[in-house]
Amino acid sequence: MKLFRLPSHRPSRNKALRRLELERLEDRTVMSATLGYSSYLPGPAWATAVDGGGNVYVAGGYTTGSLGAYVAKVNSTGTALDWVTKLGSSGFGNSIAVDAAGDAYVAGESPDSAFPTTPNALATTKPSTSQPGFLTVLNPTGSILYSTWLPGTQFSGFAPGHVNGASLAIDHAGDGMGMLDNVYVTGSALAGFPTTAGAFQSNLAGGTDAFLAKIDPNLSGTASLLYGTYLGGSGTDVGTGVAVDAADNAYIVGRTTSTNLPATAGAFQQSNGGGTDVFVAKFNPSLSGTASLVYATYLGGSGSDGYWTDFPRYFRSLIRDRASRWTQPATPTWRARPLRRTSPRRPAPSRRPFIQRLPAPPLGTPSLPS
């Protein structure tokens, strides 16, 4: 097992120059672990992925000169930068995945009206929002295969709506077939997000809603959007992580201030505990309407919980960040454990991270926000 370590803090956009330090470490369970390599890239990194050959793919944004999203590939030994592709003159690549063929899938944000799109894109023209999202697919040599704007989406740094490193997932449907995989993206959306005929929620319910988009980059135009839906209530709802299981169900995690976010019957927590709560939702995009939302629940106490939430490699474990005033449920199927920091500085009580594991969700019938 090899671990790849990035700086523990998120890079500042106000610095004139910020470099990514990329380290490859041997399994830390071995006492004699050694540093395989350590290097730099000319900009902050927001997400990394590793292919079957141990090559590292990095998505981020340049801070030298004009800001611009970039994708880079570092070889498995760390001795060479195979390629770097810059995407537009401003913006950030915030999420990345790699398929079995070595194609890289990147989601991010850009205000650049000249951002590169392909003729078969879902949307070739920059949306009216100031910082809309994008989805770009690059081949193993760094050339663009598919690139589209995500209409109606709005991403703005650390404010609600920012895409983090887990806001994109692929289902490997194209593996071994010479085709690209389906891509699942989540984040936050305003009015104008393109929903499909079988959407769970067709209209914006609040200031910003979470969204789920399933896109097939092998298709063109609106046909490439296989499933698109809002998920939200009357408050602010943001999808911050997405994962896909072997049956192509999509799992979204995020944060919400809504008190009427759709929750399914039998959900672990039916109502908002107070302030900002985490939410978890399971979708089956092959179904239509309310049936496509298989499960949805709140997770939270009376304070603000889950500003940054994510699915790790095994998506049934939910990483909870910034938990406050959390009361651990007294049930053997639910665990809440504080994470240890490597830094000697003790985190403030309102910033302590948690890992949460949910049992398999029961089936239930959701209701749309009123």
* Residue 339 confidence (pLDDT): 42
- Domain range summary for the chain, segments of one domain joined by +: 42-357
pLDDT tens per residue, the chain (370 residues)?
Answer: 343 343 334 444 444 334 455 555 445 455 556 777 777 776 788 889 999 999 999 998 876 556 689 999 999 998 899 999 999 888 888 899 999 999 999 999 888 899 999 999 999 999 988 889 999 999 999 999 999 999 999 765 433 334 443 489 999 888 888 999 999 999 989 999 999 999 999 999 988 999 999 999 999 999 999 999 999 999 999 898 898 988 899 999 888 999 999 999 888 888 887 778 889 999 999 999 999 999 999 887 655 555 445 454 444 333 333 333 334 444 444 444 444 444 444 444 444 544 555 555 544 444 444 4
Q: What CATH class is the domain 42-357?
A: mainly beta
Residues whose CB falls within 8 Å of the CB of residue 227, separated by 6 or more in sequence, listed in order? 196, 198, 199, 212, 213, 214, 283, 285, 292
CB atoms closer than 10 angstroms to residue 51: 18
- Measured CA to CA, the distance from residue 204 to residue 349 in angstroms comes to 35
**What pTM was estimated for this model as a whole?**
0.78
pLDDT of residue 281: 93
Return d(Cα 299, Cα 271) in angstroms, integer. Answer: 9
Sequence-ordered list of residues with C-beta below 8 angstroms from that of 207, at least 6 positions apart, any chain: 235, 236
Phi-psi domain of 333 (left: phi exceeds 0; alpha: psi -120 through 50; beta: other): alpha
**AA letter at 230:** Y
Q: What is the pLDDT of residue 64?
A: 59
CB atoms within 10 A of CB 192: 14
**Assigned token pair, 281:** 């939702």
How many other C-beta atoms are found inside a 10 Å radius of the C-beta of residue 86? 15
∠ CA 97-161-230, rounded to 5°: 85
- CA–CA gap between residue 67 and residue 93 (Å, rounded): 11
